[in-house]
Amino acid sequence: MRTESLSVQSSLKNISTESLSIVADQQILFAKEAYSGFGEVQLVDGRSIDYQSVQNADILLVRSVTKVNESLLKDSNVKFVGSATSGIDHIDIDYLEKANITFAQALGSNARSVAEYVLSSLFVAAEQKGFSLTEKTVGIIGCGQVGSRVKRFLQALGVNCLLNDPPLASKTSDQNYVELDDILQADIITLHVPLTAEGNYPTSNLLDKEFLARLKSDVIIINSSRGGVIDEKALLDFKQANPAATLILDVWLNEPQIDINLLKQTFIATPHIAGYSYDGKLKATQMLFDSLNNYLGQNLDKVNLSNSEQEILYINDDVIQFAVLQSYDVRTDGIALMGLMNMEDEKRGQYFDSLRNNYPVRREFSNRTIQTHELDDVSQQQLQQLGFKVETI
């Protein structure tokens, strides 16, 4: 497989883009506007992208709902696949390499969005369950693009964090990383790992029956990575045996046909939208634009898709929690998904997807300015470390 960062020879490079055919998931933000300079863009529902729809395509741009493998691409014209996502468990990397198809991903594009989802969820839990985050120890499993941002957010607020990331620990020899067993003592566990079944550090069913049995009975578990990282049957059994445990789930096995029984046991349940901020989607679109520009040997100027309009928040008391929850209160997304429970089985998958496909605009903290009459230096610094702009009025 050739990645977009490599200097490669390609049958598509330095040719007229007028003849190129691009099939793109219609949920890629501004796909038509951004990529029309490279060729003719056909927008397709991600779950409807199939063998027939890609046969004459030169370029395929997807999100996580499209499985990209030999059965999809065999005998097609596709020479470049781009995914507007960080995770790649929906991509058969081995097949792309064998077929000499270049692949690019939007690594880290939604990392801040997911980190903000985690922080919002924790403030909601703290508010409703009557605790302070600074009283808790948070175990962060996976400290890459997302986990490292979660760590920075929490440490800025004075929260004790335990970090587990065997690949990074091996690569860096950083003594700050702890073993997975050490995470068991955490009050809160948040998962930020890719879904892998092979290699030295597989993550499939990382939280299995044995691991869950050793956790605190009132642990808070947050999963915004991939559903398969947790054994869902074991998680359901664990929750039923430990009613004080708190489950916050954004990702699920068998999406969009998720386990309704597990849904009923969650504190917050959302339809795989943790990384769905407008800003994160925009970054992904721009990153794939850069990859295509490089791959095709073009020198196209980016289409200006940014929205720099700032939202002003006026606050006085409880500044950090107020600012976070006013910017993004995860409960809104949680309430929406609970609508599944009142539906017939055959309609639930369609509803799950509709929540994702029609997701409202959510801006990241960096798009918000906090205005206040009085703000102590510590609070101002904390808000700025979370990404907010701060003005005294």
Question: Other C-beta atoms within 10 Å of 82: how many?
Answer: 26
- Judge whether 301 lies within some domain: no
Does one domain contain both 50 and 167? no
Residue 11 has pLDDT above 50, yes or no: no
Which one from 40, 47, 152, 255 is the annotated catalytic residue?
255
The pLDDT > 90 percentage for the chain reads: 84
Which one from 63, 90, 226, 368 is the annotated catalytic residue?
226
The pLDDT > 70 percentage for the chain reads: 92
pLDDT of 375: 84
CATH number, domain with residue 184: 3.40.50.720
Is 373 annotated in the active site? no
pLDDT of 176: 93
- Judge whether 306 lies within some domain: no
Question: Nearest to residue 39, comparing CAs of 17, 68, 15, 72?
Answer: 17
- Provide the domain limits for residue 82: 17-109+277-296
Does one domain contain both 101 and 136? no
pLDDT of 302: 73
Residue 231 has pLDDT above 70, yes or no: yes
Does one domain contain both 184 and 62? no
Does one domain contain both 119 and 72? no
Does one domain contain both 117 and 71? no
- Judge whether 5 lies within some domain: no
pLDDT of 320: 92
Does one domain contain both 34 and 77? yes
Residue 245 has pLDDT above 60, yes or no: yes
Does one domain contain both 144 and 179? yes
How do residues 374-392 score in pLDDT, each as one tens digit?
Answer: 788 899 999 999 999 998 8
What's the CA gap between 11 and 59, in Å, rounded? 12
What's the CA gap between 155 and 133, in Å, rounded? 11
pLDDT of 307: 63
Task: Please name the amino acid found at residue 16.
Answer: S
Split into its structural domains, the chain has a count of 3
How do residues 176-188 score in pLDDT, each as one tens digit?
Answer: 999 999 999 999 9
- Judge whether 4 lies within some domain: no
How do residues 68-92 score in pLDDT, each as one tens digit?
Answer: 999 999 999 999 999 999 889 999 9
Does one domain contain both 33 and 85? yes
Residue 299 has pLDDT above 90, yes or no: no
Phi, psi angle pair for 264, to nearest 5°: -65, -20
pLDDT of 306: 64
Q: Answer yes or no: are the C-beta atoms of 226 and 142 closer than 8 Å.
A: no
CATH number, domain with residue 366: 3.30.1370.170
Residue 316 has pLDDT above 60, yes or no: no
Is 255 annotated in the active site? yes
On whether the pTM is more than 0.85, the answer is yes
Q: What is the CA radius of gyration of the chain?
A: 22
Does one domain contain both 156 and 208? yes
Q: Any idea which residue has 């096995």 for tokens?
A: 253
Residue 365 has pLDDT above 90, yes or no: yes
Banded pLDDT at 315 (limits 50, 70, 90)? low
Task: Please name the amino acid found at residue 144.
Answer: G
Q: Answer yes or no: are the C-beta atoms of 178 and 106 closer than 8 Å.
A: no
Does one domain contain both 132 and 188? yes
- Judge whether 202 lies within some domain: yes
Does one domain contain both 129 and 253? yes
CA dihedral (111, 115, 117, 120) in degrees, to 10, reads -160
Mean pLDDT of the chain: 92
pLDDT of 6: 27
pLDDT of 24: 98
Which one from 272, 348, 362, 368 is the annotated catalytic residue?
272
Low-confidence winner among 68-82, 137-151, 210-224, 314-328 (lowest mean pLDDT): 314-328
Does one domain contain both 154 and 263? yes
